[in-house]
Amino acid sequence: MTGPTVLDLRCPRCGAALAGSHQDVVFWCGGCYVPHEVVGERFVERRGNVAQAALRSEKAVVYLPLWAFRVSYAMHWDDREQEALARHLPVVEWVYVTAFELHNASYFGDPGLIFTEKRVRLEAGPPVRVVGCSRSLEEAKAYVEPHLLTIIDRRVDVTGLELSSTIGDVLLWGVPYFDEGDHLRDGILGLKIPSAAVDEVAAIRVLGGAGR
């Protein structure tokens, strides 16, 4: 008989205590700044970067996680006309997937999908503490093709489309969000999400409060 797995929440790399909310599956170490994902019964290191804000604000900043997948993909339609239309589509290089718990993401605007569509290129800044993620790498991968399809579908009818994609580099980004009270505004595009739609927002404010 096996008992429940109890993880020692210490960073296997540097020994610092790992803090997170109860639903986190990735813990971003505040000591060595390396994200560690719980896979089975052990920690696996992930590549993490902290994004530099492109906008300015006097508000406190919290850093929320987004997965980023470098993709290459091919689109094929039997319909030559559709295929010809698709040649003019902008090429997506990075697919972003929201890694924190956001309720009604499709209603409020899913940051991962919007960052993908706007073809955001994030610049790495100095490391800070980033809150953990509730979405695992494997769960996030399942959003790569749906995100691509959503974006392609806005320009070309995806009926009959055969999409094949491969994932190259995988990165976890800590994205700066300005805490404006009833909403959080990202420091890259300036999009607002209601604080109430972010699960565990109170814990995030404590854990991810990297200051101004």
The residues of the shown chain that bind Zn ion, judged by CB under 5 A, are 11, 13-14, 16, 29, 31-32
Tokens of 132: 């953990």
Three-state DSSP string of 15-26: CCECCCCCCCCE
* Minimum gap (Å) between residue 130 Cβ and Zn ion: 12
Q: Which helix (H) or strand (E) holds 179?
A: strand 162-179
* Minimum gap (Å) between residue 124 Cβ and Zn ion: 18
* Minimum gap (Å) between residue 46 Cβ and Zn ion: 12
- Closer by beta carbon to Zn ion, 13 or else 205: 13
Burial class (CB in 10 A: 0-12, 13-18, 19+), 107: exposed
- Closer by beta carbon to Zn ion, 30 or else 112: 30
Alpha-carbon distance of 5 to 170, in angstroms, equals 27
* Minimum gap (Å) between residue 161 Cβ and Zn ion: 43
HSE toward the beta carbon, residue 149, CA cutoff 13 A: 13
- Closer by beta carbon to Zn ion, 33 or else 178: 33
- Residue 155: Cβ within 10 Å count: 12
Residue partners of 91: CB distance under 8 A and separation at least 6: none
- Closer by beta carbon to Zn ion, 13 or else 59: 13
* Minimum gap (Å) between residue 12 Cβ and Zn ion: 8
Alpha-carbon distance of 36 to 203, in angstroms, equals 19
* Minimum gap (Å) between residue 22 Cβ and Zn ion: 20
Tokens of 179: 């805490």
- Closer by beta carbon to Zn ion, 30 or else 176: 30
- Closer by beta carbon to Zn ion, 31 or else 194: 31
